Structure 1
Amino acid sequence: MKIIEQSFSSYIFSNYPNDSTHFSQKGHEQVVYFQDEATGLQAIVGIHDTTLGPAVGGVRFFEYQNERDALKDVLRLSRGMTYKASIAGLDFGGGKAVLIQKKGTTLTEALLRKYGAFIDRLGGHYITAPDYNTTMDHMVDIAKSTRHVIGLPAALGGSGDPSGNTAYGVYIAMKATVKQAFGTDSLAGKKIGIAGIGKVGYHLAQLLCQEQAIVYVADICAKRLQAITEVCKVEVVAAERLCSWPLDIYAPCALGATLNNETIPMLHCAIVVGAANNQLADQDRDGKLLLKKSIVYTPDFLANAGGLINAVTELEPKSQNLVKQRTEALYTICLDVLDKAAKTARPTQEVAEEMAIQRIQSIKNT
């Protein structure tokens, strides 16, 4: 087992020139590399900030073009988790892990147990959870080597699949954003396009159909599209066309960085609210592009906070009623962010990050 820890401040922020206004310019608290030749495990963990509590964040299994891209992803994602926990009023910090998928590498029990042993050596500073391409079943294997894991099946005392509550949080954020944009939070008759019908997109489509929205869906996986058409009245649109489809709301619910200087000019909608992390490829540039197009954007780390709210119940057991209340509280937070952004003519991402940072700084200064 090998752990390599380095200070990446100069490297990190040469890749994030637009972060100069944020306290994270000083660097993440900890960035750790881990590898195990026997299982093929290669992992990077980023712990961004633990002022509010131990860092919590998912572990994703993804085929990156190179190690630099993997590092860039883990840094952005971990920082987003800090903002997500803070703005949702949770007493946890932000972290993230990536397992680098290479040819022949699969998520075997041996690999996951090795990863769990590695996480255990971090002493609880980072708590891992499901993310892209990792599931509750994978967390069960990880839990054989560490107690610093959440997102376990309900049958084992965990919080269960968080995708339903993530979708519910996005739904609540949509209603708040529609209220800000149109004066009423009813989604009935609204044309909503969901890009990505994974677990969260699937649940979100059901919620929207129940409210009689007109729902369009797109995904690169035909089986997912077939599954949602069997339970909901939705219209399937080609993945490459949904971005420019005439919509009231566009909901990115797959991978991040899909809102960029090429796709934003194509958008034909009034609102963007989705479940994907890091939706803006360049936070400063793309936030301003959306503002220039008069598109109301609810920041991803606010809209998708429902999954985190659900998952941390394993660390501070609460009733499901309280989980629902906390998730529904995102409505008021969204309205606050959108109102401040409208009054100051600033990008909503900037305002939301500022609110999250202010809470953290108030604790640091105490």
Structure 2
Amino acid sequence: MLTRLASPTHEEVYRVEDRESGLRGFIALHSTRLGPAAGGLRMRVYDGDDAALEDVLNLSRGMSYKNAAAGLPLGGGKAVIIGDPMRDKTPQMLRAMGRAINMLRGRYWTAEDMGMSPEDMAEITRETRFVAGLDTGAHASGDPSPVTARGVLGAMRAGAAQLWGTDDLRGRHVAVQGLGHVGWHLCLLLHETGARLSVADMNPAHAASTVREFGATMVDPRVIHAVDADIFAPCAIGGVLNARSIPEIKAKMVCGAANNQLATPEDADRLRARAILYLPDYVANGGGIINVAAEILQIAPRAPWVEERLGAMQARMAHILTRAAGEGISPAILADRLVEEQLLQAAG
């Protein structure tokens, strides 16, 4: 079921296969220096196994950085299932993934991510206890998406204060790309603050819902990044900030919930060269893992602990933006440097 793959960058990488259920996927543990690796399980269609492997490696590294930036005693891990979640997913497949996760004996904790639901995660718990973000249980934290969205909103406020001298988002135009669990909740919060919304999703029904609920303007997903907005919020897949898209961005700030938004490290400098303020994704979107961590660590009472860390995360973003501006570098470069120093210290 688990085949270990050699990796020069990650502590453990596994191919996961179960012929009976049709399961194909990967699990990657980037680092356990700060604690057990934690990160979500996603299911999506990939252009082959190599693309899925590249995704899980990048995402698990991002989780190491995200957990460290959030000040959590957790390392970084991720799991992916290859397939269409609307057509290919079965209870047998989910339980097979649960058995694979259980074989790692707590070195990796999983949670809900793209293409998965709380019901799916409950199915996985039939085979392993190393699952968080559940709806039931003594320390259940539920769907982490609303807390992720709150963290992104807090980051936007920090960016707004840096750019415009106020964290008030009332009247600001935000272009949101991706209207899954997190993207939808972010739209809800932005609507409540009085922001104006342009939205796009590959599923037209999702976009239509935000038009009805929040008075948003629906945009073609192929050009949402180029909308003449104040803020561009990528909340779908990674790699959307690249050599092709960056010259077309009209927003003054990029801040969203998607992981690995930069296609290459050089894209951080491309954004800075165009005077676009980029808020490092793993600092902005850490709210969900904070919520999940409370469950893993069995924190009680959970709510005050989560609130304190959400506040600290927004303060950290503000610090990164101020210091990066003072040093004349991209916030992404500074954020990476701070986290790498943190991980190096943890290594002893």
TM (norm. structure 2) is: 0.96
C-alpha distance 199-150 of structure 1, shift in aligned 2 (>3 A):
same
Q: Is the 8 A contact 1:193 1:216 kept in 2?
A: yes
Deviation at 1:155, TM superposition (A): 6.3
> Which of 338, 343, 357 does residue 321 from structure 2 map onto?
338
Task: Give 2:101's aligned residue.
Answer: 119
Q: Which structure 2 residues correspond to residues 242-321 of structure 1 after superposition, within 5 A? A: 242-282=224-264, 284-316=265-297, 317-318=299-300, 319-321=302-304
Partner of 1:37: 19
User: Percent identity of the aligned residues?
Assistant: 37
Q: 8 Å contact 1:187–1:212 — kept in the other structure?
A: yes
Per-residue CA deviations over 1:200-243 (Å, capped at 9, x if unaligned) read 11111111111111111111222112222222122222222321
The alpha carbon displacement at 1:76 in A equals 0.3
Deviation, structure 1 residue 106: 2.1
Compare 287-296 and 193-202 and name the one that shifted more. 193-202
List alignment gaps of at least 5 residues for structure 2.
none
Aligned residue in 1 for 2:82: 100
Letter in 2 for 1:6: L
- Please, which of 135, 138, 150 is the counterpart of residue 168 of structure 1? 150
Number of equivalent positions = 346
User: How far apart are the structure 2 equivalents of 1:315 and 1:34?
Assistant: 24
Q: Offset at 1:43?
A: 1.8
Residue number among 119, 125, 139 corresponding to 1:137 in the alignment:
119
* Alpha-carbon distance in 1 for matches of 2:212, 2:136: 27
Letter in 1 for 2:157: K
Say if 1:44 and 1:97, in contact at 8 Å, map to a contact too. yes
Q: 2:330 aligns with which of 318, 343, 347?
A: 347
Query: In 1, are the aligned partners of 2:238 and 2:262 still within 8 Å (CA)?
Result: yes
3-state DSSP of counterpart to 1:134: coil
Question: Who is 2:53 aligned against?
Answer: 71
1:40–1:105 contact (8 Å) kept in structure 2: no
Deviation at 1:105, TM superposition (A): 6.9
> What TM-score does the superposition give when structure 1 sets the normalisation length?
0.91
Query: 1:235-281 CA deviation, whole Å, 9 max, x = no partner?
Result: 22222232111111100011111111000000001100000011111
1:177 and 1:60 map into 2 onto residues whose CA distance is: 29
**Partner residue, 2:6:** 7
Distance in 1 between the 2:137 and 2:296 partners? Answer: 16
Change (3 A) 1:221 1:104: closer
| Rounded Cα–Cα distance in structure 2 between residues aligned with 1:270 and 1:102 | 35
1:61 aligned counterpart, secondary structure: strand
**Deviation above 4 Å: which 4+ runs of structure 1?**
102-105
Give the match for residue 13 of structure 1: none
Q: Report whether the alignment pairs 1:322 with 2:305.
A: yes
Measure, in 2, the Cα distance between the counterparts of 1:199 and 1:145: 25
* Secondary structure in 1 matching 2:222: helix
User: Given that residues 31 and 76 in structure 2 are in contact (C-alpha distance below 8 angstroms), is that contact kept between their aligned partners in structure 1?
Assistant: yes
RMSD: 1.6
**Shift in CA distance, 297/102, structure 1 to aligned 2, threshold 3 Å:** closer
Q: Is residue 85–residue 116 contact of structure 2 (8 Å, CA) maintained in 1?
A: no
CA offsets per residue over residues 97-135 of structure 1, 9 Å max, x none? 111117997221111111111111111111111111011
Counterpart residue identity of residue 301, structure 1: Y
8 Å CA contact 2:200–2:207 kept in 1: the answer is yes
Is the contact between residue 85 and residue 115 of structure 2 (CA under 8 Å) also seen in structure 1? no
Distance between the aligned counterparts of 1:297 and 1:320, measured in 2? 29
1:225 maps onto 2:204 in alignment: no
Q: Distance in 1 between matches of 2:85 and 2:230?
A: 41
Secondary structure of 1:69 counterpart:
helix
**CA 1:103–1:334: 2 relative to 1, 3 Å:** closer
- Aligned equivalent of 2:32: 50
Alpha-carbon contact 2:177-2:224 (below 8 Å) kept: yes
**Residues 146 and 181 of structure 1: CA distance in aligned 2, closer, same or farther (over 3 Å):** same
